[in-house]
Amino acid sequence: MLGNCIENVRKNVPLVHNITNYVTVNDVANVLLACGGSPIMSDEPEDVEDITGICGGLNINIGTLNKSSIEGMYRAGRKANELGHIVLLDPVGAGASALRTNTALGLMNEIAFSAIRGNISEIKTLALGSGTTKGVDADLADAVTEESLESAVIFAKEFAKKTGSLIAITGAIDLVADADRCYVIRNGRPEMGRITGTGCQLSGMMTAFLVANPDARLEAAAAAVCAMGLAGEIGWSGMQDGDGNATYRNRIIDAIYNMDGQILDKGARYEIR
Amino acid sequence: MLGNCIENVRKNVPLVHNITNYVTVNDVANVLLACGGSPIMSDEPEDVEDITGICGGLNINIGTLNKSSIEGMYRAGRKANELGHIVLLDPVGAGASALRTNTALGLMNEIAFSAIRGNISEIKTLALGSGTTKGVDADLADAVTEESLESAVIFAKEFAKKTGSLIAITGAIDLVADADRCYVIRNGRPEMGRITGTGCQLSGMMTAFLVANPDARLEAAAAAVCAMGLAGEIGWSGMQDGDGNATYRNRIIDAIYNMDGQILDKGARYEIR
Amino acid sequence: MLGNCIENVRKNVPLVHNITNYVTVNDVANVLLACGGSPIMSDEPEDVEDITGICGGLNINIGTLNKSSIEGMYRAGRKANELGHIVLLDPVGAGASALRTNTALGLMNEIAFSAIRGNISEIKTLALGSGTTKGVDADLADAVTEESLESAVIFAKEFAKKTGSLIAITGAIDLVADADRCYVIRNGRPEMGRITGTGCQLSGMMTAFLVANPDARLEAAAAAVCAMGLAGEIGWSGMQDGDGNATYRNRIIDAIYNMDGQILDKGARYEIR
């Protein structure tokens, strides 16, 4: 089932417009190419509407926002809404600064997001209007664990209902929810946190999965999360003596490049609640 | 013959000023170092003239242009013209947005480019003043094939004559033309399109080749195209089970690092029309 | 002794705010994660004070400065000073343009830097108020050699005394000095100069080392330099046929990832003058 979602990406080659941070942008582009999509980056306000117009989806990531790119996010988001395109928000560092929190909340007020993907601290910040975030990583006190899982699932569904967006909360356990159903996903490895940008890569890839699977959006978002986590497992299994996070980064993107529907279906570990 | 061109880069270590996009800029810097050049990046309007002044060539790439960097492109381009430096234009996404098309055309009006390198859709956009571009990739309808080759060669020569620039059109078959002669190059692999930025890397490298070979510019531009394609072939030959586009990216830059004149002469596949 | 310094980074996981160039930013983030720190990037003036506030250290790198990020550097630097945080300056290209030289000198006037790290040409520019820099690389005429070592050590100590900052001058021989003592370090390999950003990576990592070792700052800075150089040696020893600077880049970050106090103590090659 989830395997179809990646096959559809490879079949449809969705063009994804990314307004994303300059830290991990190269990896976002390469993972989009790896999964079968096609990336284009543009943040200049006078450029973004045209670019969004030729794409199927828009990935907004506030990781290194600035005044000009924030205006670009609003313009591109509105245009994508007009065109009925997929729009995803990755609220990097929401809770870590007023500008990030306010930008994410402001965007949510004006733009209908198909999906919002972040760590638990970022998503809680959006839900509560404030929060504590340790930089761009989740606060340990917020972490989704087996103990807090049931309440986290309820939280994710409720926030999905309130926002009308798919909510993807990633961490040791990943949640992908709409108002009614929540995928609880246990793919991935803790060492992925030692690479910059696996979250940003996932947001780019999830946008492509959503564009290519218009009739199964929740499944598509869950498939993207499973694919990223599974790539982390496959990549880790190939690690040799002396390899570290730089090599691991490459192996994860390589694993996406080589992933087909069968591999994803076999490796995806999830339950639906 | 072409082999001399890369040897001259290694001998002269040309310093190349790049105003380029933030997606692929790291790879551009590393491929410039790999081929024997030395990169410096600067796009701030108040910085670019000094930086261009100490360099031998300027590589302008509009992949993630913004208002400030556009001003930087004009200022640096004018200064480079004054100094008689090599200036190359990579019109990424021309045809995909009005701002990109207009910026590329505007730069061509004010600045004399030594070379313009893009895919066929981008170059057609510049030649015709409009075009269709699928994002940053060429439109399939435009592709240079064995059937359309003869007319594409004529087009490239005519556009070179009209602009006074070397014209490099890269794709499955690559063309590098001045008004009289056109290199038709058949190096490379289709999988290079699954890596972000091989075109941007080529533009950076071509600038270095042009700077280091002032008396053989057409040959230098063709040598850079052959070198990049050949690196794609060499890199691919080293791919192992499980490798994908992230590893391939590294192998291509590694192949440039290890390429000498003999390897290039032996591997270059081209004819002159 | 120096080995403790990296162990303290892994124990304390210092959060480092980086205002750094977009060329090498991804490698800076990954090397910070590799050594046990946690990176966050932000250059927007309205964002930087909040971000600096939650971090332990600030790494300012002027490699691709622009008017907005320069304002960000001042604001973040002042805030970090108020909070008593570690602040490091990497004056990339000082001497290569008036804007870079003036920005570096201006920042030094207003902000108390814990450490300044650059190549000899950049540091001389700061000391003398002018200089010659070949792009972002040191001028050969300035190089620290066995012959010029004694006078270079005196220069480093004097500049440390004058500025109140630790002074790290990196090249074939590295110097790390306060007013009284100077580490003379002979780790590293010349091939590291064929990779973009090993200096930028070192600046990020040095910031983390300084944050995690408040009672041994000179040692911490020297440990970071030794670690980077040693990683260059370890990474090189793993190079295979066909490998080049792209693979070498990954191997160096991997070597940092796998480095512990024992490896560092065993591999560090230095004397104190």
Confidence bin at C1 (pLDDT 50/70/90): confident
pLDDT, tens only, B220-252: 999 999 999 999 999 999 999 999 999 999 999
**Range of lowest pLDDT (A53-67, B47-61, B141-155):** B141-155
A106 touches chain C (CB under 8 A): no
pLDDT, tens only, A191-217: 999 999 999 999 999 999 999 999 999
CATH tag, C2-272: 3.40.1190.20
Closest CA to B188 of B258, B255, B246, B260: B255
Confidence bin at C135 (pLDDT 50/70/90): low
Residues of chain B positioned with their CB less than 8 A from the CB of C65? 44, 47
Mean predicted confidence (pLDDT) in B73-95: 98
| pLDDT at residue C272 in the model | 98
One-letter amino acid for residue C186 of the chain: R
Asked if the Cβ–Cβ distance from C246 to B22 is below 8 Å, we say: no
Task: Tell me how far apart the alpha carbons of residues C96 and B53 are, in angstroms, rounded to a whole number.
Answer: 9
**Nearest residue in chain B measured CA to CA from C240:** B254
Confidence bin at C5 (pLDDT 50/70/90): very high
pLDDT, tens only, C232-253: 999 999 999 999 999 999 999 9
pLDDT, tens only, C47-82: 999 999 999 999 999 999 999 999 999 999 999 999
Asked if the Cβ–Cβ distance from B245 to A33 is below 8 Å, we say: yes
- Residue numbers of A between 27 and 46 with CB closer than 8 Å to B: 29-30, 33-34, 38-44, 46
Chain-centroid distance, C-alpha B131 = 20
pLDDT exceeds cutoff 70 at C38: yes
Mean predicted confidence (pLDDT) in A8-30: 98
Residues of chain C positioned with their CB less than 8 A from the CB of B41? 21-23, 63-64
Helix C245-257 with C217-237: angle, nearest 10 deg: 130
Asked if the Cβ–Cβ distance from C257 to A245 is below 8 Å, we say: yes
pLDDT, tens only, C174-208: 999 999 999 999 999 999 999 999 999 999 999 99
pLDDT, tens only, A86-111: 999 999 999 999 999 999 999 999 99
Asked if the Cβ–Cβ distance from B68 to C65 is below 8 Å, we say: no
- From the list B23, B243, B250, the residue facing A26 with the nearest CB is B23
**Look-up of token digits 């979602």:** A5
* Residues B30 and B224: beta-carbon distance below 8 Å: no
Give phi and psi for B222, each to the nearest 5.
-65, -40
Task: Tell me how far apart the alpha carbons of residues B53 and C153 are, in angstroms, rounded to a whole number.
Answer: 32
pLDDT, tens only, A182-191: 999 999 999 9
* Residues C226 and C2: beta-carbon distance below 8 Å: yes
